[in-house]
A and B are shown apart, each in its own frame.
Chain A
Amino acid sequence: MTLLLHGVVWAGHPTTARVVTWRDLAVVVSDQVTPTRQDAVAHLEALSALVAAGPVVPLRFGTTADGEDAVRTDVLAAGADRLRAHLTRLAGLVEVHTYLRFDEDEALQAVFDEHQAAWPGSGRHDLATRIRLGEQIAQHLVTWRRARSDALLAPVSAVASEQVLLPDRDATEERRAFLIPHEELDTVKAAITALGQVDADCVGPLPAYHFLDETTRGEAATGSRWGW
């Protein structure tokens, strides 16, 4: 029977979810094999609930296996060393996302104040030039927002062992993922709640999606390559 696989935990993890166990490792599984978006949310909720009680290695959403035997041999036995290394390293750590949404008018004004001496004038430009200038403004907004975020998120960075920048959605929204000790969650929550001058959210605890291997790290800040 086909199973949907959610995440890998230690065999002794106190979860009430269905697990397939092999030696000291276990995979949290379910029967749902045609997952929908609601199932994806449920998948993330279930994994997020697990991290409070022990490390979780999240598997790519939509991972399926042909029965429990395949889970034991092809997932757990085949990758045991790698999985144990992840679980050991992630003990006590959780991922938290922070989203800082800056006011666009304020951000544009700040960028304008900083760069107005170099502003090329408001004459008529052809479309390609307009797009290029607009892109440069977006780059300046990112630089401004990143510096502001560094300052605002300092209390979070202080308790985090690692952090990565999440993909941009908007030039005025800073999205980061932090790896923090689980017991610092309240500290992070308080720090984000205290940010009065910016629309700030955080989501956590999450499984350490962004801190599973070296290749996902170092999506580091790339400073502005642009200038007017």
Chain B
Amino acid sequence: MTTPVIPGTGGGLAEALNILLDKGLVIDASIRVTVIGIEILAIEIKLVIASVDTYIRYLEAMQRLDAQRRALNGAVPAPPAGQGIAGTYGLLTAPVPVGAVAVAPGAPAQVPASAPENP
């Protein structure tokens, strides 16, 4: 008999079972032939679990990669090329810290003397 599970399988047939439990030919309606509900069998089907937690985890990973890229490009994050309408980019909602604003070499700082240093 051919072994049904090819070596190297993780879950093997148990893995396939989760996919196949609700598959298979269904016999046309008959009083004498019925299908027992899977819920009666107390069998747990673990399928599509696309959770919010996973989405947030992906986003945080992307943000870490983005931060790494910015770090590699220099301590001061340079704005990426403008995107979309009016050359805007991103969805920045946090105010950009004053100290992080890049100043072009040779251009005098435009901070009024009366501006508070630490607002």
Contacts and interface: CB of A to CB of B under 8 A. Distances in A.
A111 B66 CA distance: 12
Contacts of B20: 44, 58, 61, 206, 209
Given A52-B2, A122-B66, A58 B41 contact: no
A180 interface: no
B66 to A, nearest CB: 5
B93 A134 contact: no
Interface residues of A, number: 80
Q: Does more than half of chain B's interface fall in helix, strand or loop, or is it mixed?
A: loop
Interface string B14-52: 111101111111111010111111101111001111101
B106 to A, nearest CB: 28
B13 interface: yes
A129 B52 CA distance: 12
Contacts of B36: 35, 62-64
A203 B25 contact: no
A130 B59 contact: yes
A209 B4 CA distance: 15
Contact of B28 (A36, A78, A112): A78
B52 to A, nearest CB: 6
A74 interface: yes
A214 to B, nearest CB: 14
B71 interface: no
B10 interface: yes
Given A60-B22, A122-B66, A189-B6, A74 B27 contact: yes
A23 interface: no
B97 to A, nearest CB: 13
B10 A125 contact: no
Contacts of B65: 108-109, 112, 116
A61 B21 contact: yes
Given A74-B27, A141-B58, A124 B37 contact: no
B100 interface: no
Interface string A14-26: 0000000000000
12 contacts: A8-B25, A59-B26, A59-B27, A62-B35, A62-B37, A63-B27, A74-B33, A97-B15, A99-B10, A112-B66, A169-B49, A205-B2
10 residue pairs, one from A and one from B, having the closest CB atoms:
A134-B55, A121-B90, A48-B4, A70-B32, A62-B36, A123-B92, A60-B24, A137-B58, A74-B30, A134-B59
